[in-house]
Amino acid sequence: MPPDPRPFGIYVHWPFCRSKCPYCDFNSHVREKIAADAWEAGLLADLKRQKARFEAAGLGTRAVSSIFFGGGTPSLMAPRTVAAVIETIAHLWPLTADCEITLEANPTSAEAENFAGYAAAGVNRLSIGVQALEKDALGFLGRTHDPEEARRAIGLAAKHFPRFSFDLIYARPNQSTAAWEAELKQALDLAVGHLSLYQLTIEPGTAFYGAHARGDFALPDDALAGDLYEATQALLSAAGLPAYEISNHARPGQESRHNLLYWRYGDYLGTGPGAHGRLTLDDGSPLGLKRATRAHKAPETWLAALERGEDGLTETESVALSDRLIELTMMGLRLTEGIPVARFWREIGQPPESTLDPTGLSRMIDGGFLTLTDTRIAATLAGRQRLNALLTQILPEDAA
């Protein structure tokens, strides 16, 4: 049977970090010792079990177009483990000729030394968690590297990988627009094709959440945060790296293909503790059966399940049409390109004007926050800046 032409990605979660950053709400854990061989065996076993579990519903005929090692800190993985995971995926599924294989890395010197090993293992894109290029800001963010280490890591990435990106966090306490523009200009001197620029948010369960609630620090007010966002868009666009998503900027052709898969509501399998997946399986219906998967979140629980001969999934359930509408809309409107009307037909079986709130649609279009044509719905720059508020206007009240 020929491969299914729809894009299909695989997300690999490595849950361990050397220390927990105070802003981070990801499934990441600090451990004194990690049994690397056991974790490698667990990842390989889970990939094989998930392939077998979903193969009868069509997953086995699909080609993998992207692999993403996220975390946690995947650059704590041995290059041989990364190579084993890539080799196993290539054995279980065909890879597309241009398969993008990304690994997230920290810029500490010890981890940067592994960059050559990751390239030899098959990684062809690196995403570096720089977060700031100012020493005091790195200290506030709980990062263990200094600006010079970050610059060295970026230089190594440019040497070993045909494509790379790095992250920065802005809207930090006491940050002015002028200071952020100066930092962005430093970043542009180092960047090649891609930058991810995230506004600092305070998430429940993080160290920053309690500190912010106590008044230990204050974030920029809404007006200044808006100025910082608009300055980011203007400076990056002028430099030839326009936003293709709310927080991501790239030269044409340098976009993260794996992340585009998420935002375009494509299919992906998730392996590793806490990893999520979305798989459209063939059940004979016109829209297919969309399945949501979630793995055990606690690392030791996940690994123990694999060692017992089970897969690592704690949950697999059908995604109702109302939830498909929410996910499709929330993810797709993050993109500058918006959502093709054809994607609504593929996922929901109806066009956007028949599924989204008509009053809210009209209000957002008239207000300059949204555009809708015969072929596409998209948020404007003003709409993307206020996306959460926009979504409350257009998603039907009974969608959830």
325-367 pLDDT per residue, tens? 999 999 999 999 999 999 999 999 999 999 999 999 999 999 9
Residue 399 has pLDDT above 70, yes or no: no
Average pLDDT estimate for 12-21: 94
d(CA 249, CA 165): 10
In 3D, which of 300, 356, 358, 303 has the Cα closest to residue 330?
A: 356
Residue type, 278: R
Which strands, in side-by-side order, build the sheet including 8-14?
243-245, 248-250, 194-199, 163-170, 125-131, 95-105, 64-71, 8-14, 267-271, 276-281, 289-295, 313-318
Residue 109 has pLDDT above 80, yes or no: no
343 vs 354: CA distance, rounded Å: 13
Cβ atoms within 10 Å of 337's Cβ, excluding its own: 14
Helix pair angle (36-55, 299-307), 10° resolution:
70
Classify 150 in phi/psi space as left (phi over 0), alpha (psi -120 to 50) or beta: alpha
Tell me if 295 sits within 8 A of 275, measured CB to CB: yes
Identify the band that residue 88 occupies on the pLDDT scale cut at 50, 70 and 90: very high
| Residue 72: cis peptide before it, omega within 30 degrees of 0 | yes
How far is the C-alpha of 291 from the C-alpha of 165, rounded, in Å?
A: 31
pTM beyond 0.85, yes or no: yes
For the residues 211-215, what does the mean pLDDT come to?
Answer: 96
Residue 197 pLDDT greater than 50, yes or no:
yes
pLDDT mean over 95-109: 94
- List the chain domain ranges: 8-261, 333-394
Q: Which of 324, 395, 329 is nearest to 359 (CA)?
A: 395
In this structure, the number of other CB atoms found within 10 A of the CB of residue 121 comes to 21
How much is the mean pLDDT over the chain? 94
Q: For helices 222-238 and 177-190, what crossing angle results, to 10°?
A: 30
What number of other Cβ atoms are within 10 A of residue 295's Cβ?
A: 26
Q: What's the CATH architecture for 8-261?
A: Alpha-Beta Barrel (3.20)
Confidence of residue 7 (pLDDT cuts 50, 70, 90): confident
Alpha carbons 74 and 233: distance in angstroms, whole number:
30
pLDDT at 93: 95
Question: Shortest CA distance to 353 belongs to which of 370, 335, 336, 368?
Answer: 370
- pLDDT of 131 > 50? The answer is yes
Sign of the Cα torsion 190, 193, 199, 204 reads: negative
pLDDT in tens, 215-273: 999 999 999 999 999 999 999 999 999 999 999 999 999 999 999 999 999 999 999 99
Q: Is 239 left (phi over 0), alpha (psi -120 to 50) or beta?
A: alpha
> Quick one: pLDDT at residue 56?
85
